Amino acid sequence: MMLQYVDYFIEHLRVEKNASPMTLTCYRTDLNQFFDYMADDYEIPSEELKKDVINHQSVRRYLGHLQMRGLSRATMARKLASLRSFVRYLCREAVLDGNPIAVIATPRQEKKLPRFLYPEEVKILVEAPDTGSVMGMRDRAILELLYATGIRVSELVALDLNHIDTRERMVRVLGKGNKERIVPIGSQAVQAIDTYLIKSRRYLLAKNSNRSTGALFLNRFGSRLSARSIRNVINKYVEEIALNQKVSPHTLRHTFATHLLNGGADLRSVQELLGHVKLSTTQVYTHVTNERIKNIHKEKFPRR
C-alpha cells in the first residue's frame, strides 16, 4: 500500500539526502494531504490506496482541488514538487514502471519582488531593543546578526558558540544540505554579540539546569531558541516601532541582499553570502535594484 512507501521515502530523504527536519515535515505533510484527498476521491480508507491512484488525471483533479481552496500558485507548485520527488523515488525503487505525472506542468508562478526595508527602517528596528535588559541585549544581537549576514532563521537558531569568531568578524554557517559557508559580520553586529555574550548569555544559561548547551542564542529558560521565537522577537519590535509593513526573518535576508547590490556588490558574491546553489535564485534581487534604477532615472532625468 502507498502510505508505507511514504515512510520509506522520508527515511530515504533523511539518510541519503541528509534533509533537515523541517524539509522532512513538509514532504510528509504534502504527501499525506495528497493521499487523504485520494482516499476521499476514491471513497476508500487511505491505508488501502494502491499505486494506480497516482496518475495524471488524479493529480490534475488534486491541483484543481487546491486551486478551489484558494491556495497560492507557489504553494501548489511546492506540493506538486513534493509529489514529483516521491514518484521519482518510486520509479527508482521499481514500484512504478514509469513516471505517470511527467506531463503535468508546474503552475505558472506570479512574479513577486522580495520585500525589503530601507536603511532608515533597519536602523530603527535593530536599535529598538532595550539594551539595558538581559533580553534586550540578546534581541539586539539577534537583529544585528540577521541583518549583517542575511542568514536564514533556521541557520541562526542552529548557531553554536564555536561557530562565531567576533575577533575575526566571521560566522560559520551550516546551510541547506549541510553545506558550510563563512560569512563576515560588521563592527556593529560584533559589538552587539560581544555585549550579549559578556552581559546577557550567562544569566540566561543559569536558568538551564544542565548549564551545558553550546547554543549561541538562548531563550529565557536557558535553552536553544526556536525559529518561532525569533519570529516573535521580530514581531514584538515591529509592533513597538509601528513599522507599517509585515517583517519576517526572511525580510531581513532580502534586505541584506538588496542593500549589498544597491551598494555595488556583484551578484556572484551575494550568491555565495546567501548560500544559494543557483545564481538564478539570487537574480530575483536584480529586479529590486532595477526598480530603484528606474525610479532614480524618473526622478533625476531632466527630460521625462
Active centre residues (catalytic): 152, 176, 250, 253, 276, 285
DSSP state of 140: H
Bridge partners (DSSP) of residue 171 are 164, 183
The whole-angstrom separation of Cα 138 and Cα 131 is 8
Cβ atoms < 10 Å from Cβ of 269: 12
3-state secondary structure of 183: strand
**In the chain, alpha helices (H):** 2-15, 21-42, 56-68, 73-92, 119-126, 134-149, 153-157, 187-199, 201-205, 227-240, 249-262, 267-274, 279-282, 284-300
Helix (H) or strand (E) holding 171: strand 170-174
3-state secondary structure of 55: coil
**Residue type present at position 273:** L
3-state secondary structure of 219: coil
Nearest C-alpha neighbor of 220 from the set 237, 236, 233: 233
Backbone angles phi, psi at 218, to 5 degrees: -115, 150
Grid coordinates standing for 126? 535593530
Q: Which residues contact 290 (CB under 8 A, 6 or more apart)?
A: none
Cβ atoms < 10 Å from Cβ of 24: 16
Are the C-beta atoms of 186 and 179 separated by less than 8 Å? no
The whole-angstrom separation of Cα 196 and Cα 129 is 12
**Residue type present at position 43:** E
The whole-angstrom separation of Cα 253 and Cα 231 is 13
